[in-house]
Amino acid sequence: MRHTDASWKLNTLCVHAGEGIDEETKALRRPIHMANSYEMPADVGELIKTISWDHLDRWHYTREHSPTPRYLEERLAMLEGGEDCVVTASGVGAVAATLYTLLGAGVHIVASEVCYTATQKLLGLHMPRYGVDVSLVDTTDPEEVRRAVRKETRAVYIETPGNPIVSISDIAAIAEIAHSVGALLIVDSTWSGLVTQSPLALGADVVIHSATKFINGHGDSLAGAVIGPRKLMNEIRECGVVHLGACISPFNAWLVLRGSITLPLRMQRHCENAMRVAEFLQSHPKVKSVRYPGLPTHPGHQVAKRQMKGYSGMLTFNLHVGVPEHFELLKRLRLVTHAVSLGHDQSLIMYLPTGFYFHDMVVFSEEQKRRYTEIMGEGIFRLSVGLEDADDIIDDLRRALDAVP
């Protein structure tokens, strides 16, 4: 790797960490190594080094690790301030690799009841099939976490901001609770876009990202990342990636490396645009409620203000009308695209009827459904505010809102 100075700040790290001059050609960009296999040394001592996790600059098979993903790992570890990083085929690949490595029969985990659907199903449906004891609680209230942890708790898992209702959990307070019983705190920080939140500095032990979203930022690849202590990262690399198989394609790793160069610039714009869009929506008479952590009306605003350096690009809102009219709004949008995913250059919107959400969140109790109906009403739009001119995004929303019956 080219010299990287640990004292460099975020913008510099995004440009230089993991980058370097290609030894063979002197190219200023490191190449994409698509080979799936590498020549191995015939010497026993050298061979052992090649297959050991202590020598991550030696390669033999791409499912184990390979140069281009390693460059991305170097960058993301530095950006999050962690010892090391493991990149995976997708965000869910990162979540699954981490949970599979840490959990087992008889082990207890406490997790956010509101988190990305695949994560919630991994925790609420699949982990219990293997004998893991899972408590899903409302982690926006640290006292619920305190009540749920016990001496067998191996990990506390939170997503903040949380998908889909932009819920905010207090990382520092929950880290203290997790550590009081010897558990690790894992934070899925995807919705923060990395640069607005530093979970490790706030006391978390492991950070997860779907790099498919803001980190890549251009909507053209899937990727995931886990960042934390080197020993644990090597365990996750072996148990969670090599044995489960969700290794990243070197080409996708290269796309994420390239996309992430502009991450701080893009996040600044996402934050500014989202704030303006949230304020506009809050002022529109047809809008019933808006949830954006930057608004003082968001229940987690004070915690977000303390633990984030910007409120990222995700918000939700709904209208005073019923479900069918919400689809009328989608039909009238011209700039903002009706699509899943988030953190792309372009603004993306998705309507989530509450009944549909509950159908998906299979493990919700009647009490949980009641609580989330209060927050979501009949449904919510999830808006990922993009990098377009804020005026154009607002004009598109205004025109569509004005036309909704």
Ligand X SMILES: Cc1ncc(COP(=O)(O)O)c(C=O)c1O
Q: Where do contacts with ligand X occur on this chain (CB under 6 A)?
A: 90-92, 116, 159, 163, 188, 190-191, 210, 212, 222, 224
b (16+ CB within 10 A) / e for 41-73: eeeeeeeeebeebeebebbeebebbbbbbbbbb
Q: Given the complex with ligand X, which of 30 and 344 has the nearer CB atom?
A: 344
Half-sphere exposure of 186 (CA within 13 A, CB side): 28
Nearest distance, CB of residue 163 and ligand X, angstroms? 4
- Rank residues 352 and 400 by Cβ distance to ligand X and give the closer one: 352
d(C-alpha 154, C-alpha 206), whole Å:
13
Please identify, using beta-carbon distances, which residue of 342 and 390 lies nearer to ligand X.
342
Residue 45 Cβ vs ligand X, minimum distance, rounded to whole Å: 39
CB 212, min distance to ligand X, A: 3
**Distance between CA atoms of residues 192 and 217, nearest Å:** 13
Encoded amino acid at 170, one letter: D
Strand 206-210 versus strand 184-188 pairing type: parallel
Q: Which is nearer to ligand X, 140 or 190 (CB)?
A: 190
Which residue's CB is nearer to ligand X, number 92 or number 177? 92
Determine the residue with CB nearest ligand X.
91
Residue closer to ligand X by CB (options 90, 153) is 90
Q: Is 13 in a helix, a strand, or coil?
A: helix
CA–CA dist 246, 92 (Å, integer): 9
What 3-state DSSP class applies to 291? strand
Residue 306's CB: how many other CB atoms inside 10 A?
Answer: 12
How far apart are CB 210 and ligand X at their closest, in Å?
3
Give the nearest distance from C-beta 74 to ligand X in angstroms.
20
Cβ at position 213, least distance to ligand X in Å: 7
